[in-house]
Structure 1
Amino acid sequence: MSGVLTYKCSNCGGPLKFDPEKQKYACEYCLSQFTQEQVAAEEKEAPRAEKAEKGGGEPFLYNCSSCGAEIVTDGTTAATFCYYCHNPVILSGRLSGEYNPDYVVPFAIEKEKAVDIFRLWMKKKRFVPKEFYSEDQIEKISGVYFPYMLYSCRAEGRLNASADRVRVWVSGNHRYTETQTFEVKREGSMPVKFVPRNALKKANRELVEGVLPYETEKMKNFSMAYLSGFLAERRDMGEQEFGDEVKTEVRSFAQDSLRNSITSYDSVRIESNDIRLKDEAWEYALLPVWALTYRDEGRDEMYYFTINGQTGKVCGKLPVDKFKLSLLFAEIFVPILIVLLIVGYLI
């Protein structure tokens, strides 16, 4: 089946997985380790996999190159696992042409550390159902590369304002006020780098944007080898979906920056402002997230816990156990009610 690509150890043929802690690719069988440069060199020498462009939300079938099992994915999945032999599989055709990412932020947090972060965070949450943090549930935590579009530009702005400086003093029985009005001008140029937007329609926006920001200065040029051992999604949204929103946000930030530079006045009135965006560019990146999801069938609602796979920042939307809340009510309010009844009786 076309479009299937795996990275294998050059020593024993076992599957390679990217190790976030060591920032190298490791073979689970012979324990060999390889740098990005070594994997890239092997990739250039290997025959190029036949690529297939496919999209949409329909399921697609791929054959695992290790055991031959059929792998079922949707139209945006770019990296997954074979559920039979656990071999990491990269669907290379999903990331070709216009869908080829410019950058990737490699995972810097391994699964064991992500689980530790989750357990520590859950200790502070008293009213979450046990099903959400059971051992079976924790095993489902997954490292996923989510697609983001990154906007960069140079914002040039001018601002004209009137500013008042007020002086008040008392002489004898009289109170005097002096108001001086000044014409104030501000202008400047500000570089804007990598404003992110979630580029996957099916992704919960709170889930993937709640772990922002990333340290984009540590981004790497994209190589499919970074996806080995993780899940990955391909973008199905572009700049046309959120271009106006991002540009409005950048203009507003630039205007606020100019306005905040006007200090030492008692009042400021903006007369006019002009923000121009130049050297605009959109780039495509895959950013790492550890994700754990839980669907409450009774409420038909999804809850989640996510960790920024680079910085460790946590974001979550948690279910509430009504039974635990009722116990809290019984522990706190029932004794108070009894005391009030006794006091009322005595009075």
Structure 2
Amino acid sequence: MAVISYKCPNCGGDLRFDPSTQKYKCEYCISLFTQEELEAANPQASGEETAPHVHARGGQKAGQGGQESAQNDDGGKEEQGAVVYSCPGCGAEIVTDATTAATFCYYCHNPVVLKGRLSGEYEPDLVIPFAVDKKEAVEDFLKYVRGKKFVPKDFFCKEQIEKISGVYFPFWTYSCLADGQWQGSAQKVRVWQMGELEYTETKVYDVERRAELTFRNLTREALNKENRQLVEAVQPFRLEEAKDFSMGYLSGFFAEKRDIEKAEISAGVEQEVRDYAGKMLHSSVSGYMTTQTRDTRVHMQEETWKYLLLPVWVLTYRGADGKLYYYAMNGQTRKICGVLPIDKARMALLFLGVFLPLLLLLLMGGYFLW
């Protein structure tokens, strides 16, 4: 599997995707390059894959005995879910897990894309590139946190803020044309009175509705990791702005590869479409006092599945209570969510500084009145 690092054709520096310009920026000479210029300057991104130095994490290389290791789908060896690659910049080891598709070297901070993780059947169809850069993400984070009381100061200290990361999360989208038919019965009831007699007229109708319904871009998670919940909390994304996938968009960010296949979720998605189509057809029946469903049939046509990556800025924090807290921001729309820690010491100080003096004042007032 090729380990790709995009380089500037002018100075050889690292190229990273720049959300503010939607181009590729050199961190050293500040040059900007389009997608076409990036591919022309870095033919290894689309050419033949080179053999990397890949081995399982442990005291020995994979395949040389010791603990049992398994061949992963990237052509490398992995042991207990960890795989080690060599950084093309400095030669240091890059440790990844089974779903990491883009990361950084911990020594030279060189952004690398693990091409084999996103090739063949695992190559995404679409990607929504980051539209918010790290500086803007940090500014929005500070505005959000400083508006919250009782958040520990070390949650937004300099060292913590530097850990904010842009991550591409994998998703499936489903679109189809649903040919739906609803059949049922409906009633109209009329009541009137003549003299001392009350009359009730009940009319029963057979009702049928039929329509073609278009469903576009129903999204489903394609990652089993616990942190997948971060991307759920900052939806929706403007999926109409998605672009054809190119690995260059991942340079300078982290990325996850899917580990949930569409076969695992297709039945549930199709049933959801059937249920929703039936409700829409039923709700179109009006002018009756009561309606009752007898039969609903929905046939899906022109079904399309797409595999795409969605951008999220993420910051996690391990609280004093041992719990993991997080902050997440949609890298396209800036929607924010967070599960923030509470500084109990600050709450106690507030109580002692405000409520305790007030309580003493009330007690003293009651004493003098007595």
**Aligned residue in 2 for 1:48:** 48
The answer to whether the Cα contact below 8 Å between 1:163 and 1:267 also exists between their aligned partners in 2 is yes
The answer to whether the Cα contact below 8 Å between 1:56 and 1:76 also exists between their aligned partners in 2 is no
**Aligned residue in 2 for 1:82:** 105
Give the letter for the 2:8 counterpart: C
The answer to whether the Cα contact below 8 Å between 2:8 and 2:41 also exists between their aligned partners in 1 is no
**Aligned residue in 1 for 2:35:** 36
Q: 1:319 aligns with which of 341, 349, 360?
A: 341
**Residues 1-347 of structure 1: pairs in structure 2 closer than 5 A:** 2-44=1-43, 47-50=47-50, 52-54=74-76, 58-167=81-190, 178-296=201-319, 298-299=321-322, 301-327=323-349, 331=354, 335=358, 339=362
Q: Distance in 2 between matches of 1:67 and 1:228?
A: 17
Q: Distance in 1 between matches of 2:173 and 2:269?
A: 10
The answer to whether the Cα contact below 8 Å between 2:169 and 2:228 also exists between their aligned partners in 1 is no
Q: Distance in 1 between matches of 2:195 and 2:341?
A: 68
Return 5+ residue gaps in structure 1 as ranges: none
Shift of 1:98: 1.5
Give the letter for the 1:16 counterpart: L
**Length-normalised TM-score, structure 2:** 0.83
Give the letter for the 1:146 counterpart: F
Shifted more, 281-290 versus 165-174: the winner is: 165-174
Shift of 1:211: 1.5
Shifted more, 127-136 versus 233-242: the winner is: 127-136
Distance 1:98 1:133, change over 3 A: same
Shift of 1:344: 10
Q: Deviations over 1:189-226 (max 9, x none)?
A: 12222222221222434212111221111111111011
**Length-normalised TM-score, structure 1:** 0.88
Distance 1:188 1:79, change over 3 A: same
Give the letter for the 2:252 counterpart: G
Q: Distance in 2 between matches of 1:29 and 1:3?
A: 24
Shift of 1:328: 5.5
The answer to whether the Cα contact below 8 Å between 1:58 and 1:75 also exists between their aligned partners in 2 is yes
Distance 1:305 1:264, change over 3 A: farther
The answer to whether the Cα contact below 8 Å between 1:6 and 1:15 also exists between their aligned partners in 2 is yes
Shift of 1:160: 1.5
- % of aligned pairs identical? 49
Aligned CA-pair RMSD: 2.9
Count of residues paired in the alignment: 345
Shifted more, 128-137 versus 281-290: the winner is: 128-137
Distance 1:139 1:175, change over 3 A: farther
Shift of 1:31: 1.5
The answer to whether the Cα contact below 8 Å between 1:57 and 1:75 also exists between their aligned partners in 2 is no
Give the letter for the 1:240 counterpart: A
Q: Distance in 1 between matches of 2:80 and 2:235?
A: 27
Q: Deviations over 1:152-195 (max 9, x none)?
A: 22222111122334455677777765544433221111222222
Q: Deviations over 1:82-122 (max 9, x none)?
A: 12222111111111222111111111111111112212222
Give the letter for the 1:20 counterpart: P
Q: Deviations over 1:237-292 (max 9, x none)?
A: 11133222222222222222222222343332222211222232322111111111
The answer to whether the Cα contact below 8 Å between 1:164 and 1:179 also exists between their aligned partners in 2 is yes
Give the letter for the 1:31 counterpart: I
Q: Distance in 2 between matches of 1:179 and 1:127?
A: 64
Q: Taking CA–CA contacts closer than 8 Å with sequence separation of 6 or more, which of the two structures ends up with the larger relative contact order?
A: 1
Q: Distance in 2 between matches of 1:321 and 1:177?
A: 68
Give the letter for the 1:313 counterpart: K
The answer to whether the Cα contact below 8 Å between 2:7 and 2:41 also exists between their aligned partners in 1 is no
Q: Distance in 1 between matches of 2:87 and 2:132?
A: 27
Give the letter for the 1:40 counterpart: E
The answer to whether the Cα contact below 8 Å between 2:122 and 2:257 also exists between their aligned partners in 1 is yes
Q: Distance in 1 between matches of 2:44 and 2:106?
A: 29
